[in-house]
């Protein structure tokens, strides 16, 4: 059960990256750093203004959206058509800047966010669930479905899929590729930031807290099959469950290692993802 709850947040993170990497082909190695930024934004709101993280995720998300758009326009757009190599370097650089700027501003100390909800157990027959993680699960669920519907139903979403399928043809159909790319980058960053805000009550906060999540996000996207936003949602749940099973049998400390082994296995055996169709 816990696995599914964490998995929903992984799904959120993974869908964000699926938008940026899977759909827009921008290799974002700074995903975890943006998540960390979302955590800090939410923590500042909590620490200074006593705003509950389950509300603070909204302003934090909006802030991350704007910030993501800015980063896209200033740093990603100029190198959009360059090699993966350059994109990886650029986003690694952005990640280092974000992490160390936060460290400079807020210090390397660990922070904990105590809210009552975290310690409130809810009983459902035999199960005991944590009220806070149930709430973040619900919020994540709403956002996941919302994003999926956005991509499938709205005009912008359709434009987005058109670009993903054929970046060369999209402009001919009157789609402003730059605007849509910027938008989906910002949207993806926002998802990471919101996930960060929702993770805040459950984790200690420190500047490099996001590091593992960059790789986890890629694991989720690869599990779900490249370019598939729905796939990423399922991939997130799979990862969450895998981790909790690993924790149960091998211990918590092995969870991340198992993530990576799973990742390497999927990449080398079935590169189209567990749920992806095999491509020629």
* Binding positions for another protein, rule: CB under 8 A: 21, 27, 75, 78-79, 82, 84-90, 92-101, 103-104, 108, 211, 215, 218, 222, 251, 253-254, 256-257, 260-261, 263-264, 267-268, 271, 280
Judged by beta carbon, residue 26 or residue 159, the one nearer another protein is: 26
Q: How far is the CB of 178 from another protein (least distance, A)?
A: 17
Q: How far is the CB of 52 from another protein (least distance, A)?
A: 30
Residue 123 backbone phi and psi in degrees, to 5: -105, 130
206-209: list long-range contacts, CB under 8 Å, 24+ apart.
Answer: 206/108, 206/109, 206/110, 206/111, 207/36, 207/99, 207/100, 207/102, 207/103, 207/106, 207/108, 208/36, 208/99, 209/36, 209/39
Q: How far is the CB of 89 from another protein (least distance, A)?
A: 5
Q: How far is the CB of 86 from another protein (least distance, A)?
A: 5
Judged by beta carbon, residue 145 or residue 250, the one nearer another protein is: 250
Judged by beta carbon, residue 29 or residue 46, the one nearer another protein is: 29
CB-based contacts of 212, cutoff 8 Å, min separation 6: 32, 256
CA atoms within 13 A on the CB side of 42: 35
Judged by beta carbon, residue 82 or residue 179, the one nearer another protein is: 82
Judged by beta carbon, residue 133 or residue 228, the one nearer another protein is: 228
- Give the pair of three-digit tokens for residue 260: 């990576």
Rounded Cα distance between 179 and 153, Å, is 18
CA-based radius of gyration for the chain: 18
Q: How far is the CB of 36 from another protein (least distance, A)?
A: 14
């Amino acid at each position: 059960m816990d696995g599914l709850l964490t998995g929903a947040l992984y799904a959120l993170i993974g869908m964000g990256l699926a938008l940026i990497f899977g759909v827009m082909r921008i290799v974002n190695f700074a995903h975890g750093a943006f998540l960390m930024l979302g955590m800090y934004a939410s923590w500042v709101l909590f620490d200074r203004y006593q705003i509950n993280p389950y509300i603070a995720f909204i302003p934090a998300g909006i802030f991350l959206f704007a910030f993501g758009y800015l980063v896209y326009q200033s740093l990603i757009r100029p190198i959009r058509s360059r090699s993966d190599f350059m994109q990886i370097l650029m986003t690694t650089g952005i990640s280092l800047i974000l992490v160390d700027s936060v460290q400079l501003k807020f210090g390397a100390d660990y922070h904990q966010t105590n809210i009552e909800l975290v310690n409130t157990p809810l009983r459902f027959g035999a199960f005991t669930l944590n009220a806070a993680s149930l709430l973040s699960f619900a919020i994540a669920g709403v956002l996941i479905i919302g994003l999926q519907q956005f991509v499938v139903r709205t005009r912008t979403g359709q434009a987005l899929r058109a670009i993903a399928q054929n970046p060369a043809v999209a402009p001919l159909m009157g789609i402003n590729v730059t605007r849509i790319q910027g938008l989906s980058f910002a949207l993806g960053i926002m998802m990471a930031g919101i996930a960060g805000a929702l993770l805040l009550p459950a984790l200690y906060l420190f500047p490099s807290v996001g590091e593992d999540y960059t790789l986890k996000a890629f694991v989720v996207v690869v599990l779900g099959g490249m370019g598939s936003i729905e796939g990423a949602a399922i991939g997130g749940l799979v990862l969450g469950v895998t981790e909790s099973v690993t924790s149960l049998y091998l211990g918590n400390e092995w969870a991340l290692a198992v993530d990576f082994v799973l990742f390497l296995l999927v990449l080398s055996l079935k590169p189209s993802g567990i749920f992806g169709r095999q491509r020629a």
